[in-house]
Amino acid sequence: MESQEPPPSNQPIQIPLSKPIVIGGPTLRSQWILIAVFGAITSACLTVDVLAFPKDFEQGNRTPLTWVAGIVTAIGHGLWITMDRNRRGREIGWWRFGAIFLGPVAISLYLMHEYGLRALYLIPALAGIYVAIIAIPIAALLVATPAI
């Protein structure tokens, strides 16, 4: 008796993955676009605030646009964490709320946790982004105010 082999199947071979592949989800490019858009909105709010209320800025008083910039920044942090977790095929969990309420601290901790040694250059890049967002309103104030 000959052994009969089962007929070949047209089923694709499934290879187990350590993390799921997300097709059509967020990309690294879309994350950079998110950073640029929310950074521009935040910087614009702070620039208009500095130019409209220079005395309040010098005294350290908060104005409505300062609060708007803070809310926009918090939403941007939460969206970025959500996009990154989705892009990497991970559960979002509490990272989103940490990013919204703790801001740069939570983002830095997230980068250390998720990216390991790559955080050594990602955290300074993060700091550079924040410096750029804050430098634009300060430069606008310096240009707009007459020299003493």
How many domains is the chain partitioned into structurally? 1
Q: Say if residue 148's pLDDT is above 60.
A: no
The reply to whether 7 falls in a domain is no
Residue 63 lies in a domain: yes
Helices (H), 88-118: 95-102, 104-115
Interval 87-101 mean pLDDT: 91
Q: How much is the pLDDT for 2?
A: 62
- Whether 110 is in a domain gets the answer yes
Structure tokens belonging to residue 16: 């187990």
pLDDT computed for residue 16 by the predictor: 65
Q: 3-state secondary structure string, 34-46? A: HHHHHHHHHHHHH
Asked if residue 138 is part of any domain, the answer here is yes
In a domain, 126, yes or no: yes
Instruction: Kindly state whether residue 35 falls inside one of the protein's structural domains.
Output: yes
Domain assignment of residue 23, yes or no: no
Domain coverage including residue 78: 28-144
3-state secondary structure of 1: coil
Report the chain's mean pLDDT, rounded to a whole number. Answer: 87
Domain membership flag for residue 15? no
